[in-house]
């Protein structure tokens, strides 16, 4: 109980000061700030109010797993964040919810995503957060995306494979679960995000042209 009280006191300090350094003092890695920034998103409705939407792969599969490695779970992603070409610790591009025993989705991880072309066009080094370099997913991939960088951080559910591993052996996607496969119309997909991204890029180019 005492530990719990101390823990919530530290969380309150993070909320009050809102600084990354306070959070780093809290758990030594800056992950406390990520928890503080995403705590409200345990409620999926709140996440949706903040711009996150259910995401499926090119085949409409929502619960992402990899036989032998475990699962990620179901992603809610913010297309604006995916398309902005930036990485910010407290604004993850995706929230990852793992189905619990009765299929209820429980917030488990956050995921940072940036397209490789966007990042490499503006930086000399690949992206890193919390002292970890991002994973690279080549194209073609199940999401129909061009190559992208991503980093999972299992801030809400322990991952025996590692805090920043892509898959969590404790996450499974039950085959009968309604969250496993969704009707394409029910979820956005990365292609929509890319279309949005292309639109924004064109818009930015137009604005630059007008300023000249
Ligand atoms: Cu993921």
State residue 133's pLDDT score: 94
Q: For a pLDDT cut of 90, what percent of the chain falls above it?
A: 51
Q: For a pLDDT cut of 70, what percent of the chain falls above it?
A: 69
Q: Residue ranges per domain, the chain?
A: 1-39, 43-211
Closest by CA to 193, choosing from 95, 94, 103, is 94
Helix (H) or strand (E) holding 148: strand 148-153
Residues with CB under 5 A from ligand 1 (ion): 72, 111
Q: Give residue 43 CA to ligand 1 midpoint distance, Å.
A: 19
Q: Give residue 23 CA to ligand 1 midpoint distance, Å.
A: 24
Q: How far is CA 40 from the centre of its chain?
A: 15
- The 10 Å Cβ neighbour count of residue 188 is 17
Structural tokens at position 15: 């909320």
Read off the pLDDT of residues 53-105 as tens digits, 9 standing for 90 and up.
888 887 778 899 988 999 999 999 988 898 899 999 999 999 999 998 888 89
Q: Give residue 6 CA to ligand 1 midpoint distance, Å.
A: 32
Read off the pLDDT of residues 3-54 as tens digits, 9 standing for 90 and up.
444 444 444 444 444 444 443 444 546 999 999 999 999 999 999 999 998 8
State residue 60's pLDDT score: 79
Q: Give residue 5 CA to ligand 1 midpoint distance, Å.
A: 32
**Cβ contact 92:34 at 8 Å:** yes
* Predicted TM-score of the model (pTM): 0.77
In angstroms, the CA 148 to CA 186 distance is 24
In angstroms, the CA 145 to CA 207 distance is 27
Residue 117 banded pLDDT, cuts 50, 70, 90: very high
3-state secondary structure of 70: strand
In angstroms, the CA 125 to CA 119 distance is 9
Read off the pLDDT of residues 121-180 as tens digits, 9 standing for 90 and up.
999 999 999 999 999 999 888 887 789 999 999 999 999 999 999 999 999 987 765 566
State residue 198's pLDDT score: 60
């Amino acid at each position: 109980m005492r530990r719990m009280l101390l823990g919530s006191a530290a969380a309150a300090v993070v909320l009050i000061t809102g600084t990354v350094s306070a959070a780093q003092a809290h758990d030594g890695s800056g992950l406390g700030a990520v928890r503080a920034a995403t705590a409200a998103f345990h409620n999926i409705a709140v996440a949706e109010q903040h711009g996150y939407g259910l995401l499926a792969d090119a085949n409409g599969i929502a619960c992402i797993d990899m036989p032998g490695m475990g699962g990620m779970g179901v992603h809610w992603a913010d297309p604006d964040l995916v398309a902005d070409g930036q990485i910010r610790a407290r604004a993850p591009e995706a929230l990852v919810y793992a189905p619990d025993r009765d299929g209820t989705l429980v917030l488990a991880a956050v995921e940072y995503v940036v397209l490789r072309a966007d990042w490499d066009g503006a930086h000399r080094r690949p992206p890193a957060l919390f002292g970890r370099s991002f994973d690279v997913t080549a194209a073609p991939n199940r999401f129909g995306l061009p190559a992208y960088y991503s980093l999972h951080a299992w801030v809400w559910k322990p991952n025996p494979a590692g805090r920043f591993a892509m898959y969590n052996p404790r996450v499974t996607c039950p085959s009968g679960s309604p969250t496993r496969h969704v009707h394409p119309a029910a979820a956005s997909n990365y292609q929509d995000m890319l279309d949005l991204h292309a639109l924004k890029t064109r818009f930015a180019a137009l604005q630059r042209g007008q300023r000249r």
